[in-house]
């Protein structure tokens, strides 16, 4: 698997003696969570995991060298049962995903660390990561933070429809990979599918509404794409990676500095 994590920020490259010497109260460990799942006919199964590494790696290069922030190896397998039925999707259950995070949290706490970020780039993991952030805080006294995707980047020039409903193999994800791994993008295989139209509001929507309905991808997107990859370009990807890296880096810096709590 390709990685963009700087070697000096890669926790798994340290020896146990180097880990022992880290300042446990202030060191911030980042646990990436992602997925191996279908991303239409034009993007690889590893899209969410690759994007996690691309954005996190770019963010880590922006942090001051003396700031003790390290990336843990990614949890590549996520709760992806919405994509079951598409060849290649590898999903774990909610209980398995949460158990893995719980056990990793136990190991992190046993090593004496106090601060952990759950950095997630797969929508199917989001609610589970939020639950586990609270549970890890309660069970182990860890100071846990949650961070999703681009960290709130604006994505300059992205249209409103794509911003709302282009969240799976659409313009943004395709542009990211055109910039970072163009050899993995099959540009002749683009398909377009929107699961809702911002110009035709409905009471019930699959996403981004107060009232939603549960869905499986095969119910609403036969090709597996939710969005339009056709406007994607490498230039947009490079711009949007930089925009996201600034946001993610700012969030990590704030998490590293944050001390506003009572110790358990």
- Beta-carbon contacts of 230 under 8 Å, excluding residues fewer than 6 positions away, are 171, 190, 192
Helix (H, G, I), strand (E, B) or coil at 32: strand
Nearest of 46, 49, 50, 5 to residue 29 by alpha carbon = 5
Nearest of 152, 166, 155 to residue 197 by alpha carbon = 166
- Beta-carbon contacts of 234 under 8 Å, excluding residues fewer than 6 positions away, are 175, 178, 179, 182
**Cβ of 87: how many Cβ atoms within 10 Å?**
6
User: Exposure of 207 by Cβ count < 10 A (0-12 exposed, 13-18 middle, 19+ buried)?
Assistant: middle
Q: What is the DSSP letter of 112?
A: T
Which residues share a beta bridge with 238?
A: none
CA angle 169–173–177, rounded 5-degree value: 115
Helix (H, G, I), strand (E, B) or coil at 68: coil
CA atoms of 254 and 167, how far apart (whole Å): 27
pLDDT number for residue 260: 65
Domain boundaries, the chain: 8-257
- Answer whether 129's CB lies under 8 Å from 119's CB: no
Nearest of 159, 182, 133 to residue 231 by alpha carbon = 159
CA atoms of 113 and 199, how far apart (whole Å): 49
Helices (H), the chain: 16-21, 47-60, 94-110, 126-140, 160-165, 171-180, 217-220, 234-257
Decide if domain 8-257 falls under CATH 1.20.1250.20.
no
pLDDT number for residue 201: 83
Helix (H, G, I), strand (E, B) or coil at 55: helix
Per-residue pLDDT of the chain in tens (264 residues, 90 and over written 9): 999 999 999 999 999 999 999 999 999 999 999 999 999 999 999 999 999 999 999 999 999 999 999 999 999 999 999 999 999 999 999 999 999 999 999 999 999 999 999 999 999 999 999 999 999 999 999 999 999 999 999 999 999 999 999 999 999 999 999 999 999 999 999 999 998 999 988 888 888 789 999 999 998 899 999 999 999 999 999 999 999 999 999 999 999 999 865 555
Residue 84 tokens, joined: 């079951």
């Amino acid at each position: 698997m390709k990685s963009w994590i700087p070697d000096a920020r890669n926790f798994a490259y340290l020896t146990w003696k180097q880990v022992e010497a880290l300042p446990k109260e202030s060191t911030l460990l980042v646990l990436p969570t992602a997925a191996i799942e279908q991303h239409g006919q034009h993007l690889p199964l590893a899209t969410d995991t690759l994007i996690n590494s691309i954005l996190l790696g770019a963010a880590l290069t922006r942090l001051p060298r003396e700031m003790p922030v390290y990336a843990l190896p990614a949890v590549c397998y996520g709760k992806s049962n919405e994509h079951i039925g598409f060849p290649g999707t590898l999903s774990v259950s909610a209980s398995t995903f949460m158990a893995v995070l719980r056990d990793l949290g136990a190991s992190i706490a046993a090593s004496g660390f106090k601060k952990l970020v759950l950095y997630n780039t797969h929508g199917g993991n989001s609610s589970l990561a939020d639950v586990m952030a609270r549970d890890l805080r309660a069970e182990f006294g860890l100071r846990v933070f949650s961070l999703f995707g681009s960290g709130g980047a604006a994505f300059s020039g992205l249209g409103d429809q794509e911003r709302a409903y282009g969240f799976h193999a659409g313009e943004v994800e395709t542009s990211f990979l055109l910039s970072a791994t163009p050899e993995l993008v099959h540009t002749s295989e683009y398909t377009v599918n929107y699961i809702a139209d911002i110009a035709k509001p409905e009471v019930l929507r699959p996403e981004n509404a107060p009232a939603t309905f549960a869905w499986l991808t095969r119910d609403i997107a036969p090709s597996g794409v939710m969005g339009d990859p056709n406007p994607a370009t490498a230039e947009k990807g490079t711009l949007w990676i930089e925009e996201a890296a600034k946001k993610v880096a700012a969030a990590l810096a704030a998490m590293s500095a944050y001390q506003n709590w009572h110790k358990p």
